[in-house]
Structure 1
Amino acid sequence: MAKLYFRYGAMGSSKTANALMVAYNYKERGKRALLAKPKLDTREIGVMHSRIGLEEPCIYVEDLVEMSTEDLEAYDCIIVDEAQFCKKSDIEFFTHLVDDLEIPVICYGLRTDFQMHLFEGSMWLLAWADKIEELKTVCWCGSGARCNARIDSNGKMVHAGKQVEVGANERYIALCRKHHVEGKTGLEKNE
């Protein structure tokens, strides 16, 4: 029976690397996995790229939802990265793939933004996923990091701004809840 998976983690928890490894495992077994990400992720067009250098071509979720049933049924699995940027309608489509077409959908993404608010895609994945798994990473203090902090060029936490500001290590850091609440990034300069 196919399932909808949500594998979430803070920045630096190897979500994309994990997604690419799962796709490789499918390929190694003679299966076809389709990689997708939302258009809102503008860092690299048509490529799913991890910080450790793994990368594979991908399509956009917005194109995935336009595919015919026949084309979709050619795949053994759909793997979605940056799923926090998906809309509710995208997550509803993923449930259709799982429930009606029996295609497993494995989504990777952040649970919350830099202000600890749920993203739309994450909220609906938390509500509807059959299996929810946390991918772990650590704070600078060594504790488990579940919070994402947006940082400025001096390593200080940013507390206001748009929910979505695409970036990676230069803009975000994973922190434990205590240090997120205290605003301590471990990177602060001149303190």
Structure 2
Amino acid sequence: MAKLYFNYAAMNAGKSTALLQASFNYRERGMRTIEFTAKLDNRTEEGVIASRIGLRRHAHLFDSATNLFDVVKQETQDTKAACVFLDEAQFLSAEQVRQLSQIVDRLNIPVICYGLRTDFRGDLFEGSASLFALADEIRELKTICKCGRKATMNLRIDPQGNAVRVGEKIDIGGNDKYVPLCRKHFFDALEKD
């Protein structure tokens, strides 16, 4: 029976690496996979899921107008897919998460999503909140804070390394803009003058 999975973590926990490895495992066994990544994530080549350790794979792009159910239904008319993988799941809308659940329930294809839990203010992303509500299985991938504890928060920093407290919810970046921290160090950084 197919399920909807949500794998979440702070920045730099290896979410894209885990996605690419899992997708490779299916394909190595001769099974077809379909991958998606957010169009607004422009850190690498458009339409590519890329990990910090160098793994890469072309993927379908999604934005707020993409009907994921329709894309997968069309893609699987002639050849069934064994699994759908979605990177940057935090950028999904609530409606798109419902579409993913329809892929699972109506097309009987497992969907495995990877994304951030919270933004730089500690607030849930819409896609993540919806996945917490609808996913059949939720898994936390772990990374560490500078103190060695589990990092659960994403601190946005300016070019000088100072905490950013205000701004747009979405500001695409990597190590140049975000630092994974434990809750204590996250709030310490926000309270610092």
- Shorter-chain-normalised TM-score: which range? over 0.9
Q: What is the aligned partner in structure 1 of residue 171 from structure 2?
A: 165
User: Any gaps of 5 or more consecutive residues in structure 2?
Assistant: none
SS at match of 1:181: helix
The reply on whether 1:100 has 2:106 as its aligned counterpart is yes
Q: What is the alpha-carbon root mean square deviation over aligned residues?
A: 1.8
Q: What is the aligned partner in structure 1 of residue 46 from structure 2?
A: 45
SS at match of 2:21: helix
Change (3 A) 1:72 1:38: farther
Q: What is the aligned partner in structure 2 of residue 177 from structure 1?
A: 183
Runs of 4 or more, structure 1, over 6 Å off, are none
TM-score by length of 1: 0.92
Aligned ranges 1:1-191 → 2 under 5 Å: 1-43=1-43, 44-61=45-62, 62=66, 64-67=68-71, 69-72=73-76, 74-183=80-189
Distance in 2 between the 1:69 and 1:33 partners?
13
Identity %: 45
Change (3 A) 1:111 1:29: same
> 61-70 or 122-131, which moves further after superposition?
61-70
Please report how far the alpha carbon of residue 153 of structure 1 lies from its aligned counterpart in structure 2 after TM superposition: 1.1
Distance in 1 between the 2:76 and 2:9 partners?
28
